[in-house]
Amino acid sequence: MLTLYGQDLRSRLLLGTARYPSPAVLEDAVRSSGTEVVTVSLRRETAGGRQGGAFFELIRALGVHVLPNTAGCHSVSEAVLTAKMAREVFGTNWLKLEVIGHHDTLQPDVFGLVEAARILSAEGFEVFPYTTDDLVVAERLVEAGCKVLMPWCAPIGSAMGPQNIQALRAMRANFPDVPLIVDAGIGRPSHATRVMEFGFDAVLLNTAVAGAAKPALMAAAFAGAIDAGRQAFEAGMLEPRDFAVPSTPVIGKAVFA
């Protein structure tokens, strides 16, 4: 069971709602993913070009938790204002906080992120910060009030998969009690399995499902991959060895040559 800000969840997949070809495709993907949390941008163009009321009605009708996000915000003031609007619209204190710092890579502005996280946490928001894999920034975010961390594994929408395994492992080791969700850059189910295998608590993804030829099928594939990675982590995996270990015992062998 995954617990985020006191909310118990069975699914460890959080799904984005942008870039789907139509609202119907989005709905199918959400249902087949088994997700219990979808993230929604107030600013980004939404499925099939539907914006505002109609789109938000569709999201509410899905019956899942809504995690509003500040995608597209490039400053602290813009992110804080968008967060407050999101709370009005969705009636939740949850917030996926994005403060974008770099136009090409969409890398977070970690300085603005920490500042915005501090302001919003003090105002009662439960902040899910989209951050890098930097340990010091992560520490500052926790000090600012964040009880969940969401490091990228590659740039948003790149589908490159984990680029710095050691940094992600270091985050897990340094924050054993903070739920860690990989957010952004996952391209394939195997990428999701990999990060789950080394102990991440969940994965948030959008582009890999929304951009697939069959989004609902891909959503189901990701759900299975995330479960497999989690089960493997809980089962306790062998460390790779650079020598052979016979799987058949030699005791009882007739001839020892």
Query: Binding residue per annotation — 164?
Result: no
At residue 113, the 3 state secondary structure works out as helix
How many helices (H) and strands (E) in the chain? 9, 10
Verify binding: residue 162, ligand DXP, rule CB under 6 A: no
Verify binding: residue 195, ligand DXP, rule CB under 6 A: no
CB atoms within 10 A of CB 239: 4
Q: Which is nearer to ligand DXP, 185 or 189 (CB)?
A: 185
Task: Name the CA dihedral angle for 171, 176, 180, 182, rounded to a multiple of 10 degrees.
Answer: 40
Interface residue with ligand DXP among 146, 149, 186, 218 (CB under 6 A) is 186
Report the DSSP pairing between strands 7-9 and 2-4: antiparallel
Q: Which is nearer to ligand DXP, 9 or 186 (CB)?
A: 186
Query: Binding residue per annotation — 207?
Result: yes
Is 96 part of the annotated catalytic residue set? yes
For residues 184 and 168, give the distance between their C-alpha atoms in angstroms, rounded to a whole number. Answer: 13
Query: Binding residue per annotation — 69?
Result: no
Q: Which of 84, 96, 147, 253 is catalytic?
A: 96
Radius of gyration of the CA atoms of the chain, in A: 20
Verify binding: residue 42, ligand DXP, rule CB under 6 A: no
Q: In the range 200-229, which residues lie near ligand DXP by CB under 6 A?
A: 204-208
Tell me which amino acid residue 116 is.
A
Residues that bind ligand DXP (CB under 6 A): 16, 18, 39, 69, 71, 130, 156-157, 183-186, 204-208
